[in-house]
Structure 1
Amino acid sequence: MSSPLQIPGWRHIYSGKVRDLYASEDPGDTRILVVASDRVSAFDFVLSPGIPHKGELLTTLSSWWFDRLDDVPNHIAPGELPDAVAGRAMLAMALEMLPIECVVRGYITGSGWLEYEHSGTVCGIPLPAGLRNGDRLPEPLFTPAYKAPMGEHDENITFEKVVELVGAERAAQLRDTSLAVYARAAAIAEEKGLILADTKFEFGTDADGILRLADEVLTSDSSRYWDAETWRTGATPEERMASFDKQIVRDWLAAHWDRQGEPPELPADIVERTADRYRELIGRLTS
């Protein structure tokens, strides 16, 4: 992973798989600068090379969604961004982040499909027999994961485990807010001819204990988007699930890596196709 940028007036404090966080050098300024890089991750590994202009694309899409969910408390803070990262950064409130990835699945695919094939469940939740890869679920599922530290694998957990980690009231708030935001976003996507198959949210609490939507929201990195018309008419799972996200990267990596050791470098055409799909998603949603 490359070294974080040096930004005048800001001190680097943390790097995740995609985002770098900075604290103000002004002791009276408690805001955090969140910078989206061009790094791309899959299967909990940061891959090489990055996706050109990905940081700008993710920030644009997150900002668009935050604007449409402005009645949901979020982490956005006012202020002027440093020129060096304008377009791919946000100013955010300092929050105590909760160690839960709030995953909502409206359709069955990915790791959920693999589990269903084996046991008829998704994250331990029993589902009706006869579902196909890419089918819509009877109702959206809240399937949380424990957000592991950098370099470790996230772990699917039960709702009961969420209660143990954050308490019953906060756990219910995470579940209910996640399901409600997913339902609203899925309806907006549907109006644009898109299916929001699944997504994940992250939340933190501010100094007053208010739960706030944080990090990114409903981006190509945190969500699966499919073309609705292709989903209705496709004969195979690949046709049905024509995606506008980093599924191209996941599919290539799954076919060319056994998940042992370091992942291989992404080919140029995979990088280019992924960037094109990110741009196409923004165009379709915001037009």
Structure 2
Amino acid sequence: MGGVTDATDLPGWTHHYSGKVRDLYSSPKYPGRMLVVASDRVSAFDHILEPGIPGKGSLLTQLSLWWFAQLDGIPNHIVAPVADDPEASVGLPESVAGRAMLVKQLDMFPIECVVRGYLVGSGWLEYQQTQSVCGVPLPAGLENGDRLPEPIYTPAFKATLGDHDENITFQRTVELVGEDVATALRERSLEIFRRASVIASARGIILADTKFEFGTDPETGAITLGDEVLTSDSSRFWDAAVWESGNRGDSFDKQIVRNWLAANWDPTSIDGSPPPPLPAEIVAQTAARYRELIERLTRR
């Protein structure tokens, strides 16, 4: 994988980890808490690309916070910022304002809780071979981008940074976390997907698929929604009118970047050459897609 950009130096905070997009910090002032900072980094084909997408970190953070607020009754890891408690944000580093969340430190489950409402991406490729996705049988005759009869839960085993997540069956999740937890993760994921789909549909947006991550809150023992939620990076959103017209590949995410890179670089090249810099117009178009989604969903 391409190298991860250096994390921001935050006085009073200790940097612990950098993923493709997010950096994690802790501070002795906030025991049992982590600071999650979303960067403007963009990745494709397991490489960090240059340049980043201006404002992406802030947009992802604000969209996650908005969705967490919509999902009342679902325990989540957010400590600050909290919309109805401005004082809760006091003390967060000003240099990362707008793209940082102070969260509870959860004991995370090693499961990517993927829910698919439409047949697309890796699910479509698998369906063509087996007429199923992650062990879930599907009707014959479905086409790429078709809506599924019911949303399906297709979990994955979370890989280490730089590796691909591994699609697994529900029975495998039982082996990993136990039947009670595996069942709870499936039911909670499907519940959130259905609720989010209704909200998105009212705004002319289709939620095609998404992934959730959960952990146990050490303070309460409750299964708790963590990480980001229902963002352009963790979900596939489509314009409903565009989908109805027959265009099944125009999503509100970095697909523009993937398409350009696939046409201009071979990730399997034997010389191991790094991906080329993204053209300014590709960066601008991608940023516009991220902004359009948050504006349409939040109506701001």
Counterpart in the other structure of 2:58: 56
The structural deviation recorded for 1:20 is: 0.3
Aligned with residue 265 of structure 1, among 277, 280, 287? 277
CA distance in 1, matches of 2:275, 2:111: 26
The one-letter code of the counterpart of 1:15 is S
Counterpart in the other structure of 2:122: 111
The structural deviation recorded for 1:63 is: 0.6
1:20-40 C-alpha deviation (Å, 9 max, x unpaired):
0000133x6321100000111
163-172 or 111-120: bigger deviation: 111-120
1:98-119 C-alpha deviation (Å, 9 max, x unpaired):
1111110000111111112223
The structural deviation recorded for 1:121 is: 1.9
1:219 aligned onto 2:231: yes
Structure 2 gaps, min length 5 = 81-87
Q: Is the 8 A contact 2:68 2:229 kept in 1?
A: yes
Counterpart in the other structure of 2:85: none
CA distance in 2, matches of 1:83, 1:98: 31
CA distance in 1, matches of 2:137, 2:214: 27
CA distance in 1, matches of 2:47, 2:221: 33
Counterpart in the other structure of 2:261: 253
Within 5 Å, give how 1:21-36 maps onto structure 2.
Answer: 21-26=24-29, 29-36=31-38
Counterpart in the other structure of 2:243: 231
Counterpart in the other structure of 1:191: 202
The one-letter code of the counterpart of 1:286 is T
1:191-212 C-alpha deviation (Å, 9 max, x unpaired):
0000000000011111132111
Aligned with residue 215 of structure 2, among 204, 224, 242? 204
The one-letter code of the counterpart of 1:185 is A
Q: Is the 8 A contact 1:192 1:284 kept in 2?
A: yes
Counterpart in the other structure of 1:71: 73
CA distance in 2, matches of 1:155, 1:36: 24
CA distance in 1, matches of 2:151, 2:57: 29
Query: Percent of pairs identical after alignment?
Result: 65
Structure 1 gaps, min length 5 = none
The aligned length equals 282
Aligned with residue 148 of structure 2, among 137, 155, 160? 137
TM normalised by structure 2 equals 0.90
The one-letter code of the counterpart of 2:238 is W
28-37 or 183-192: bigger deviation: 28-37
The one-letter code of the counterpart of 1:11 is T
1:222-265 C-alpha deviation (Å, 9 max, x unpaired):
0011011111122xxxx233211122222233333443244443
The structural deviation recorded for 1:70 is: 2.6
Q: Per the alignment, in what secondary structure is the counterpart of residue 240 of structure 1?
A: coil
1:54-97 C-alpha deviation (Å, 9 max, x unpaired):
00000010011001013100000143221011100000001111
Aligned with residue 46 of structure 1, among 45, 48, 51? 48
Superposed CA RMSD: 1.5
CA distance in 1, matches of 2:172, 2:275: 31
Aligned with residue 188 of structure 2, among 163, 177, 187? 177
The one-letter code of the counterpart of 2:72 is D
1:159-200 C-alpha deviation (Å, 9 max, x unpaired):
111111111100001100000000000010000000000000
TM normalised by structure 1 equals 0.94
1:111-161 C-alpha deviation (Å, 9 max, x unpaired):
111112223222232211111111001111111111111111111111111
Q: Is the 8 A contact 2:144 2:248 kept in 1?
A: no
CA distance in 2, matches of 1:167, 1:194: 35
Change beyond 3 A, Cα 1:245–1:120 = same
CA distance in 2, matches of 1:211, 1:43: 32
CA distance in 2, matches of 1:113, 1:257: 24
The structural deviation recorded for 1:280 is: 0.3
